[in-house]
Structure formats: structure tokens, C-alpha cells
Structure 1
Amino acid sequence: MRPIVINGTVLCDNITGIPRYVYEVISRLDKLLEGTGLDVRLAYRDDGRPLHLTGLKNIQVVPLHAVRYCYNLFVLPHYLRKNHAFFVGLASDMLMTRDSAVVLHDIRPLVMDTDRGFFRFKFWVHCLSTKWFAREVYTVSDDQRHLISDKLGIPLDKIGVTYNGWEHMNAVEPDESVFEKLPDVKKGEYFYALGSLAKHKNYKWIREVAARNPDKTFVVAGGADLAAFGKDEADAARDTGNVFYPGYVTDGENKALMQHCKAFLHPAVFEGFGIPPLEALSQGAPILLSNASCLPELYGDCARYFDPNDYEADLDALLAEPVSKPDKLLEKYSWDKTAAFWLEQIKRYAAE
């Protein structure tokens, strides 16, 4: 059976978004590999940063010394050839090898002008490499699956879907001390949003809605650099006194903020999946979501929806709308199911 190599370099970053997917899948896959005899390795670029996932028992961790660009271009491909290994890129990481399967979480830089030109060019080359070399391509929603097919010309039957999950929230202890940092925020009386301040996250919507609802309180966590709005928007955001920006929050602080919010807001105009609304649902928070991108597909009738370009949205009216209980949704989107899915794929690749 041939070795399977998963690129774990992303696990040196903060565990949010795509790193969260890799972290949760690998940690569960490690347990599922017990007694299978499969040779699965987690390679990563050893540049002095610590790997956040340790204590693996059935997956061999392989540090490869390399500088940033040499790792993907030369060092990791050389390791794969030397060991006749099959490559699995769980973090949108493609190498120029046909013995590979890649998860493209989203292709936002190809459809939105929210990134620098050079980055968009690199991402385009990256996606073309995926099209030309990857044996199988996966993504995290059917919306993204069709978008990838349309933009890259990859046949739909070559693109699979592998979902995100939420169970990582179970291991988190809520940190109520976050409210000491927000003395003007009262439990149960604020609307909460989590994510970066990147343009596609559309936190301009929250600022605009907050300006029209001075009697309501909003907390936007996950990014403190208001310059991400652009200068004019940043200046306006600083003048919106009922929006509070605590910056990066820990998992415990996030859990506490989700448990005590009046509702969780997610106004993004583009998403591959969108984990935070799923986390919020798991904590019993109502979720108010943009009706754009993959969100209606994924969250169905468990969410209330608004037009992300409508700044006159009536939050009270939205909250009054009936929704379904999230139990079936939370059962469907599961890290355990995703890890079990990857175990079956790895068995196929190893047997080739």
C-alpha cells in the first residue's frame, strides 16, 4: 500500500476557517486509522513556527525544512516522489502531481475583486494547476461545486463535496471574562458577528444597520483593523458608537458571546461554507444570514435571511419569523462524518 501524505503547513496558522477544517479532520482521522495498517503522514513546512496539532498516534508527523515558496515548488514534491506517495491537499493546497486529491474550499479571488492583483494571479495559476493535475477535486458546498465547475471548466462529476462541522465547540469552556472587556455590552441584548473585516464579509452592512438602529447593540469580533473597510468606511465605523470591536477572541470568548447574544449575524456576500453560523446554532443562538452564496443551501429553514445590500433590514421582524429546529442540520454537518469520509478516500488512494 502506498503512503498518503497530507500537507499540514496550515496548522501552523491560527485555527480558524480552513485550518479548522484540517485540524478537526486530522485529529479525528488519527483515531480512525487505528488498526488499519495505512501509512498516513502529515508533512509541514518547518520554518520555526509550532504545529498546533500534536500527540498524533497513527499519523506520522514529517517536518520538512524549507523557506516559503520552495516548500510547495520543490521540497514537498521531492518528498512525494522519493516515497512514491499520494498527496491529499485538505487546505486548497495544490502541487503539480497527478497522484493527488485537493479540497478547494472556495475560489473567491476568481469571482470577487477583494484581493490584491498579484495574489489573484497566483491563485488563478494555483487553480489551473488543480484543474490540470489533481485526480479528484473536492469543495465544501454544492454552490461552490458549481462555481468551480463554471469558472475552471472542471466537470461536475469530478468535484465532490465534503462538509465542515461544529463539534469542536463541545470541548470549549465558555470564557465569560470577555464581557469585562465590553462593559457597555449586556448579555442577551446584543447582536453578534464573527469573522475577518475583509470586504466579502460585508461588515459594512452591520455598520449601516447599526447606524439606523441606535437603540440596538452590535459586537463584531475577529478583526480589529478597521482599515479593512477602506478609509471612508473605517472613519464611519469609528463613529458608530453602538458597534463594539473586541478584535481577535479566543474560542472560549467566542462561545460565551454566542451563548448570550440576541442573534448571530452573518452578512457575507461570498462564502465557501461559513462555519460561524453553524457554531452559533450549536450554542442555541438564532442566526440571521445573508441570502447570498452558499448560505441558503447549507442552512435551509433553520435561519432567517436578509438581502446583504439592504441596509433598512428590520432585525426585530426577522427574529419574529418562524424557523425549524437545528437538530437535523447539526447531525448532517459533522466533523466525525467528514473524517470517516476521508478515511474511505484514503483507503482507495493507498490501494492504487
Structure 2
Amino acid sequence: MNPIVINGTVLCDNITGIPRYVYETVIRLDTLLEGTGLDVRIAYRDDGRPIHLPELKNIKLVPLKAVKYFYNMVVLPTYLRRNHAFFVGLASDMLMTRRSVVVLHDIRPLVMDTDRGFFRFKFWVHCLSTKWFAQKVYTVSEDQRRLISDKLGIPMDRIGVTYNGWEHMRSVVPDEGVFDKLPGVKKGAYFYALGSLAKHKNFKWIREVARRNPDKTFVVAGGKDLRAFGDDAEAKDTANVFYPGYVSDEENAALMKHCKLFLHPAIFEGFGIPPLEALSLGAPIALARASCLPELYGDTARYFDPYDYEVDLDALAAQPVAPPDKVLEKYSWDKTAAFWLEQIKKYAEQ
């Protein structure tokens, strides 16, 4: 059987979003590989940063010295050829080799004008290389599957779906100390949102709704560059919105656990992990009726128009929803790791 190589460079970044998908899949896959005889390796660019992984028993770590772009273009492909290895790109990381499959988490730069022109060009080239070289493309929702097929012309039967999960929240102990940093925030009486402050996350909606509801309190975690909310000065004038910036998993868990309603106003998502994390902690969620969110969360969530700033938050919070059990059962890191074990068995024979 041939070696399987997963690119782990993304695990040198903070474990959020796509790195979360890779991390949670890899640590569970390591356990599932016991006794299979499969040769699975994590290659990563050794640039002095530590790789965020516990000690692995069945997956070998392969640090490769290289500068940023030289690594993807030359060093890693050379390693694959020398070892006759099959490449599994779990982090949207495509290489120009036909012995490969790639998880393309989302194609936002091809759909929305929210990124710089040069980045969109590079992303387009990246996606075309995925189309031309990868044996199969995977993504994280049916919504993205359709978009990838429409925008890139990849047949639907070449695109699979593999989901995110939530079980990482089981080991997180909520840090109630976060409320000491937010003296104006009362437990059980605030609306909470989490995510990067990129434009497609649509946190301008939070600011505009907060301005129209001065009697209500909002907490928006994930960054402090208030220009993401529109005009910087206007954002600062919204006195009932608190911006703690980046929060730890423990602080995030406490904020989710005690919020009146978790708000997710994003107008574009590949999957959207934060609402799933909130559901796993028992928090009620309200999502934008946009992108993949209704597909994934169904009747466990309340929905709002992400361009309607006159929404009645009390009425929204009072809407009845279904229990989260089916959603939490369907979207699972354990199931994702088991899925990849079966795929790897096939690719190791090629």
C-alpha cells in the first residue's frame, strides 16, 4: 500500500475554522488507524512555528524545511513523488498532482466581491488546479457542492460532502472570568455573535440592529477592527455593543452558555461551526436565512433576513424550534474521521 500524506501546515495557525476541521479529523483518525497497517503521514512546512497536535500514535509527522510558496510548489510535491504517496488536502490545499483529493471548504472569493483582486485571481487559479488535477473534490455542505459545480464546471458526481462537527466542545470548561472583562454584560441578558470580522460575516447587521435597540446588550467576539462594521466612528458610538476581541474556547463557551440568543448574520458560509458549537452548549440560535445555514440547521434555528435591521429580537427569541439532537447526531467529528478512514483505504491501493 502507498503512503497517504495530509498537509498539516494549517495546524501551525490558530485552531479555528478550517484548521479546526483538520485538527479534529486527524486526532480521531489517528485512533482509528490502529491495527490497519495504513501508512498515514502529516507533512507540514517547518518554518519555526509549532504544529498544534497532541502526540500521535499511528500518524507520522514529517516537517519539511521550506519558505512559504516554495513549499507548496516544489518541496511537498517532490516529497510525494519520491515516496509514491497519495495526497489528501483537508484544508483546501491543492497541489498539481493527479494522485490527490481535496476538501474545498468554500469558494467565497468566486462568489462575493469581498477580497482583494489579486487574492481572487490566485484563488481562481487554485480552484482551476483543483478541477484539473484532483481525482475528487469534497466540500462541507450541499450548498457549496452546487456552487462548486456551477462555478467551476465540475460534475456533481466528482464532488462529495464531508461535514464539520462539535465534539471538541465536550472538553471545554467554560471560563466565567470572561464576564469580569465585560462589566456591562449581564448573564442571560445579552445577544452573542462570534466570528472573524470579514465582510461576509455581516456583523454590520449587529451594529444596525443594536442602534435600533438601545435597551438591549450585544457581545461580538472575534476581532477588534471595528471598521468591519462599517464606519469606525459609528461602530464606536454603539454603546450597547461590547467587543472583547479574540476569545479562548473556554471564554467562548461561557459566552455561549449564558447568552439570551446566539446570532449568526453571515450572508455566506461553507458550513458555519459557531452555531453548531452554541447548540451543543444548549444555547438558542438565530441565523441569517442565507447560504448553507437553513440546509444545515433546519428547524433547530430561528431565521432572519440578514438585510432587515428592524427585526424584533424578542419575537425572534420567542419562536419555537425543534430540539438539536438530530443536528448534533448528524454533524460529528467522529463520523467525519470514520468517513476519511474509508476513503484513505481506497486511495492507499492506488
**Letter matched to residue 206 of structure 1:** I
Partner of 1:22: 22
Distance 1:129 1:220 in 2: 37
Matched, 1:134 2:137: no
Matched, 1:279 2:277: yes
Spell out, residue by residue over 1:245-282, the C-alpha distance to the aligned partner (whole angstroms, 9 max, x if none): 00000000000000000010000000000000000000
Q: Is the 1:5–1:85 contact (alpha carbons within 8 Å) kept by the matching residues of 2?
A: yes
Offset, 1:153: 0.2
Partner of 2:83: 83
Spell out, residue by residue over 1:180-215, the C-alpha distance to the aligned partner (whole angstroms, 9 max, x if none): 000000000000000011100000000000000001
Partner of 1:190: 190
1:92-131 equivalences under 5 Å are 92-131=92-131
Partner of 2:260: 262
Q: Is the 2:106–2:144 contact (alpha carbons within 8 Å) kept by the matching residues of 1?
A: yes
Matched, 1:37 2:37: yes
TM-score (norm 2): 0.99
Q: Is the 1:198–1:229 contact (alpha carbons within 8 Å) kept by the matching residues of 2?
A: no
**Secondary structure of 2:348's match?**
helix
Matched, 1:326 2:324: yes
Distance 2:328 2:108 in 1: 26
**Secondary structure of 2:102's match?**
strand
Offset, 1:175: 0.5
Partner of 1:58: 58
Distance 1:330 1:12 in 2: 28
**Letter matched to residue 338 of structure 2:** A
Offset, 1:344: 0.1
**Secondary structure of 1:177's match?**
helix
1:153-302 equivalences under 5 Å are 153-230=153-230, 232=231, 234-302=232-300
Distance 1:235 1:283 in 2: 34
- Give the number of aligned pairs: 350
Offset, 1:228: 2.8
Spell out, residue by residue over 1:1-59, the C-alpha distance to the aligned partner (whole angstroms, 9 max, x if none): 00000000000000000000000000000000000000000000000111011301100
Offset, 1:314: 0.7
Q: Which runs of 4+ in 1 moved over 3 A?
A: none
Q: Is the 1:149–1:156 contact (alpha carbons within 8 Å) kept by the matching residues of 2?
A: yes
**Letter matched to residue 155 of structure 2:** P
**Letter matched to residue 112 of structure 1:** M
Q: Is the 1:193–1:265 contact (alpha carbons within 8 Å) kept by the matching residues of 2?
A: yes
**Secondary structure of 1:351's match?**
coil
**Secondary structure of 1:88's match?**
strand
Distance 2:226 2:210 in 1: 16
Distance 1:291 1:228 in 2: 21
Distance 1:10 1:312 in 2: 40
Offset, 1:348: 0.2
Q: Is the 2:204–2:228 contact (alpha carbons within 8 Å) kept by the matching residues of 1?
A: no
**Secondary structure of 2:60's match?**
strand
Q: 2:313 aligns with which of 306, 312, 315?
A: 315
Distance 2:18 2:243 in 1: 23
Distance 1:124 1:297 in 2: 26
Distance 1:160 1:211 in 2: 42
Partner of 1:304: 302
Q: Is the 2:207–2:229 contact (alpha carbons within 8 Å) kept by the matching residues of 1?
A: no
**Letter matched to residue 347 of structure 1:** K
Gaps of 5+ in 1: none
Partner of 1:68: 68
Q: Is the 2:80–2:86 contact (alpha carbons within 8 Å) kept by the matching residues of 1?
A: yes
**Secondary structure of 1:188's match?**
coil
Q: Is the 2:203–2:228 contact (alpha carbons within 8 Å) kept by the matching residues of 1?
A: no
Distance 2:54 2:70 in 1: 25
Distance 1:260 1:322 in 2: 19
Offset, 1:227: 2.5
**Secondary structure of 1:5's match?**
strand
Gaps of 5+ in 2: none
**Letter matched to residue 111 of structure 1:** V
**Secondary structure of 2:115's match?**
coil
**Letter matched to residue 303 of structure 1:** A
Q: Is the 1:223–1:247 contact (alpha carbons within 8 Å) kept by the matching residues of 2?
A: yes
1:142-161 equivalences under 5 Å are 142-161=142-161
